[in-house]
Amino acid sequence: MEYPTSFESIYTGGFSGLNPDHSEYFLGTRLDPSRISTSILPTNPNQLEEVSKAIKTGQKNVEVQAIGIQGDTDQAIPKQQFQEIKALMKLSGVKPSLHGPILDAAGVTQRGLNESERLATERRFGEIVDKAHILDDEGNIPVVFHASAGYPGTIVWKRDKDGKLAKDDDGKLITEVGHVIDQETGQMRQIRDTKIFRPDRPKELIDKQGNLTGHDFMAEDKINSINRTEWDNQMIKVSEFAKQAREVIGNSDAELAPYANMPIVGEEKGQIMVQDPDSKTKIPLGDDRTKRAYKNVQRASQFMENATLAFNSAFETAFKYGNEGQRKLLKKLAEDYKKENEAIQCIKKVKGKKYAQPTVFTPIKEAELLDQFAVRLGNITHSTEDNKGNLISGAPQLYRKVENFVIDKTAETFGNVAFESYKKYGEGSPVIALENIDPDRGAIVTADQMRETVQKTRDNFIERLVKEKKIGEKKAKKIAENLVGATWDLGHININKKYGWTDKEVVEETRKIADMVKHVHISDNFGHSDSDLAPGMGNVPMKKHLEELEKKGILGRVKTVVESGGWNNMIKGSAFPHILKAFGSPIYGINQTGGYWNQASGTFGGYFGGYGTINPQMHHSIYGAGLTTLPMELGGAIPGGASRFSGNSMA
């Protein structure tokens, strides 16, 4: 509530401590203080010291920090500290949670994609889960991991003509500015809505006022364009090498026609020898013209090796990144190619082993075969139309949106982490709580992206439980739902305001993710950076977020961690008293009367009531009206006697 300022008098009056809604910081939603904790200093490897400081404020939950944001500080925390922290918390009646290191679970770094990095991260996350179990081996301690922390995905989402977030036919948000990744190399490229100018669209080049207009080229279409270009380039390589081989061959096939099916058996006295298939006798390879023709064919075979490598690479790309229907056709293509290639190479079995016996015409037939199957490969990957008349690119989807790629890889990583944890600790395993990130620092940002990540992680976990632990699918599903969920960070989702999101839109994200939430992070900011202010100090619509979580029964059931590091650094102390005030927490317990912390600052009025008893009669009767009879050691004029401790003179 607001308190208007009046300039009609020197003093406008104090706030009323009798008003339950008192305090400009009160958010309007009350939280049980036993469910609230604050973040502790993550850069100090001495987490025992930081936990001790937090407990002194009266917190009943503390989130231990193994974030590793400065020089892998999580690796500098001795394992004995986790045991000591456990003992301290048990004595204090405090419950822990643990924040794991900020690493990208998909293996995406600023240098690109690195599968070795992903596997190393997976092992490191597993180690953190083990440490979490040390902290609490009796319950399902939440362990927070950022779902994404490598490279941004979509930054700006498209809006419709009414200014609302636009969605496609599947109900998904549409990218306006984002990034795509080459799934082979990890190379990143930005995509965005742009204007293009094409000669086949003359009416869209310029308007009547002379302004350049152009044709709208959407970011989503840019993905298909990139994939088509990359695929065409691969097929061009095949064609170029095959063309070079044909040019070198020239008319050699006509010169060598009489020897077409004769196997080459070696050289004798500088003569190339072939074998007559009928008489099985060796004969030399004709005159000088025939020899030159054969040498041309041999030179062409070098180009054919490159062409074959390019064809194999193109086939691999098509099979790995094509759709299911294309893979069926490609499998048939591979079977036909193998059969015909073996026939060209004259593959024969001798004592169970295969041997090739190429003929004079083998390189020529290889070139023809490659041409034939390159055309088939191109036909399989050509564009088609759906039942609505929309053009569907048949090019292999080598490039994908970063967020789509990251979700799949992240789910693989955390599915494995959850399974390995379950193998060790069973249903008492720590809870894997994946945290959303802001759009500038990662690819998994929105509620839909978080839901997909959590669900795919659970699916991978379930698959391994069923396959390797022989657990029934129904039970495996329940285990996965208990041990894998989301950490919903209200400060991170608020940073979408930087790109035009409204309060209503960010609160809607909380509504969509609420039923998957296992842990909550609260911080305030102004929508432009992760400044980690205390609640009520920024523009995060905190009350509305909390109402959505309350509707799903999340508040009071899961731990709520206030990340207020920015404010802590400013005041050089704990923000916990302010947090209690912001959430209007009861002073004497959630079910007891006696006032709330947001009322505390108004309990005493601001009026001057004197200095209290400053002239007590007893003191003057002993030491005089002006305290002149005080001993010298206390500032008076009377020489002191013996020491009050030893009895020795103090003169």
Q: Say if residue 143 is in the same domain as residue 118.
A: yes
Q: Per the domain annotation, does 487 fall within a domain?
A: yes
For 525-585, give the secondary structure using H, E and C.
CCCCCCCCECCCCCCCCHHHHHHHHHHCCCECCECEEECCHHHHHHHCCCCHHHHHHHCCC
For 417-461, give the secondary structure using H, E and C.
HHHHHHHHHHHHCCEEEEECCCCCCCCCCCHHHHHHHHHHHHHHH
Q: CB pairs under 8 A, 24+ apart, for 466-472? A: 468/419, 469/422, 469/423
Q: Indicate which CATH number applies to the domain containing 549.
A: 3.20.20.150
Beta bridge partners of 144: 99, 433
For the entire predicted model, the pTM comes to: 0.81
Q: What is the pLDDT of the chain when averaged over all its residues?
A: 85
Counting the structural domains of the chain, the total is: 3
Q: Say if residue 107 is in the same domain as residue 250.
A: no
Q: Which pLDDT value is given to residue 1?
A: 45
Which of 358, 385, 412 is the last residue in one of the domains?
385
Which of 336, 357, 385 is the last residue in one of the domains?
385
Name the more confident of 79 and 351.
Answer: 79
Burial 231-269 (b: 16+ CB within 10 A, else e): beebbebbbebbebbbebbeebbebbeebeebbbeeeee
Is the per-residue pLDDT at 426 higher than 80?
A: yes
Q: Say if residue 348 is in the same domain as residue 236.
A: yes
Q: Per the domain annotation, does 7 fall within a domain?
A: no
Q: Say if residue 348 is in the same domain as residue 410.
A: no
- Work out the average pLDDT over 418-427: 96
How far CA 401 is from CA of 4, 174, 347, 397, 489, in Å, comes to 51, 11, 45, 10, 23
Q: Which domain holds residue 648?
A: 614-651
Q: Per the domain annotation, does 1 fall within a domain?
A: no
Is the per-residue pLDDT at 255 higher than 80?
A: no
Q: Say if residue 573 is in the same domain as residue 441.
A: yes
Whether the CB-CB separation of 509 and 447 falls below 8 Å is answered with yes
Q: Say if residue 412 is in the same domain as residue 557.
A: yes
Summarised one tens digit per residue, pLDDT across range 25-62 is 788 888 888 888 888 888 889 999 999 999 998 889 99
Name the more confident of 186 and 526.
Answer: 526
How far CA 333 is from CA of 34, 338, 343, 617, in Å, comes to 65, 9, 15, 110
Summarised one tens digit per residue, pLDDT across range 150-185 is 789 999 999 998 999 999 888 889 999 999 999 988
Burial 180-194 (b: 16+ CB within 10 A, else e): bbbbeebebeebebe
Amino acid at 598: N
- Work out the average pLDDT over 434-447: 95
Intra-chain end-to-end CA distance of the chain, in Å: 64
Query: Residue 416 and residue 414: Cα distance in Å, rounded?
Result: 5
Query: Residue 304 and residue 315: Cα distance in Å, rounded?
Result: 16
Q: Per the domain annotation, does 394 fall within a domain?
A: no
- Work out the average pLDDT over 350-361: 63
Q: Say if residue 371 is in the same domain as residue 507.
A: no
Which of 564, 583, 602 is the last residue in one of the domains?
583
What's the DSSP call for residue 597?
Answer: H
Q: Per the domain annotation, does 45 fall within a domain?
A: yes
Q: Per the domain annotation, does 174 fall within a domain?
A: no
Whether the CB-CB separation of 579 and 532 falls below 8 Å is answered with no
Q: Within a 13 Å sphere around the CA of 341, how many CA atoms are in the beta-carbon half?
A: 12
Q: Say if residue 548 is in the same domain as residue 646.
A: no
Q: Say if residue 381 is in the same domain as residue 406.
A: no
Q: Per the domain annotation, does 221 fall within a domain?
A: no
Summarised one tens digit per residue, pLDDT across range 273-301 is 777 777 777 877 777 788 888 888 888 88
Q: Say if residue 490 is in the same domain as residue 358.
A: no
Q: Say if residue 421 is in the same domain as residue 567.
A: yes
pLDDT-derived band of residue 220, with 50, 70 and 90 as boundaries?
A: confident
Summarised one tens digit per residue, pLDDT across range 361-396 is 778 888 889 999 999 999 999 876 565 555 566 899
Summarised one tens digit per residue, pLDDT across range 541-578 is 999 999 999 999 998 889 999 998 877 777 777 888 88
Q: Say if residue 378 is in the same domain as residue 411.
A: no
Percent of the chain whose pLDDT exceeds 90: 50
Is the per-residue pLDDT at 604 higher than 80?
A: no
Query: Residue 559 and residue 70: Cα distance in Å, rounded?
Result: 26
Q: Per the domain annotation, does 16 fall within a domain?
A: no
